[in-house]
Amino acid sequence: MLYPEHIPFTEALLQWFHTTARPLPWRGHYDPYAVWISEIMLQQTQMERGVLYYKRWMEKFPTLAHVANAHDEEILKAWEGLGYYSRARNLHKAAQRVMHEHAGVFPENYEDIRSLPGIGDYTAGAIASIAYNVPVAAVDANVRRVFARIFDIDTPIAGSAADDFIRHMAEALIPEGKARLFNQALMELGALICNKAPRCLHCPVNSFCRAYSLGIVAERPILGKKTEYTALEIISGVLVHQGRIFIQKRPESGVWAGFWEFPGGKLEAGETPEQGICREFLEETEFSINVTHSFGTVRHAYTRYRITMHCFACCLSPCANVRPARESLPLADSLDPTFPIPTLHAATEYRWATFSDLDALTFPAGHRKFMEMYRSQLEQIMQEGCSEAAG
């Protein structure tokens, strides 16, 4: 219920949104499928990057049915670079559920939306309100920050008491028939004005903000315990043989399930990175390899980890005990079609891949970043061989 004292706040906010709303590609028509994709993509993703991926996605999968009928690897490849790949897998499962249980029509009811894989309270509220104008709250980090300042919430924002209050107010403030606009306006305010470095002088509702009137905006919201990050040293090896690169596919469960990768793993105490990559190849494939070239290091992060990855070019050891086989590979006539077969201990599949194969497959973010950073060196090694390139 919208109380009379709140009407000036909502009117000011909606007027501001009407004149300054960003022209995002899913706004205007508010197709439920488009809204759903945008909301899933924008989780843990900056807006500019999200818009770029959204446009690419909609070109490849213009309808929900296209998503439902796609192969897992198509979905992961289209998502590559956005991270948090469980989002893509859940999106795929949800599309199949909608096709089977809702005749291909994305549901309007909040509870039905909430029951789909990968959709929580916020996402269900955002889709229901933005796509269908249902008067339900959509409380994300932006809305929590705005309300912590507007109402001067002096307890940790992630606490249950603060969360219950914010959700109640977010729904109570929705003007009749304007849930779509109001929820977007709140999120837009948090993203553009009331962000971590607030622009209070430009805020359309600063006259209603208790923290602003008290001069304590910088002290709101009150956050919980700061996230602690774990540093990891990883080794990764590019094994080249007969102009091909060895890659393997991770198991269908666990981190980066089903992704392709270069063999490697965590550096153990007391060993050098060169020793570590030789050990990893032996443990994962039973290949005995020599390190021929160090590319350097790649730094990246995911969830609560900060990764330093040592990257090496490798070749099979002259004394390697490997099983050769004439495989059905699409090799150029000039290449010897005899490639050694690994004994896989950490993967489900393997390939001796061309460079173009690498572009077409899905890799973890750190491996993709490595390929982008050292692309010319990789191409040289594949053309000339490890020993020549290393020299």
Q: What amino acid positions are annotated as catalytic residues? A: 39
Q: Rounded to whole angstroms, how far apart are CA atoms 329 and 313?
A: 22
Q: What six digits make up the tokens of 69?
A: 């009928």
Peptide bond between residue 156 and the one before it cis (omega within 30 degrees of 0) = no
Burial of residue 386, with CB atoms counted within 10 A of its CB: 0-12 exposed, 13-18 middle, 19 or more buried: buried
Rg (CA), the chain: 26
Q: How far apart are CA 207 and CA 361, in angstroms?
A: 53
Residue 34 Cα to chain centre, angstroms: 18
**Helix or strand or coil: residue 86?**
helix
The crossing angle, in degrees rounded to 10, of helices 179-192 and 141-150 is 80
3-state secondary structure of 131: helix
If phi > 0 it is left, if psi is from -120 to 50 it is alpha, else beta; for residue 200 that is alpha
The DSSP output letter for 220 is -
**Joined tokens for residue 88:** 């893509």
- 227 in Cβ contact with 304 (< 8 Å): yes
CB 195 within 8 A of CB 26: no
Bond into 251 cis (ω within 30)? no
Cα–Cα distance between 1 and 20 in angstroms, integer?
27
Residue 300 tokens read as 């990246």
User: 301 is written with which tokens?
Assistant: 């992060």
The enclosing H or E element of 128 equals helix 121-132
- Kindly give, in sequence order, each residue whose CB lies less than 8 Å from that of residue 159, ignoring residues fewer than 6 positions away: 224
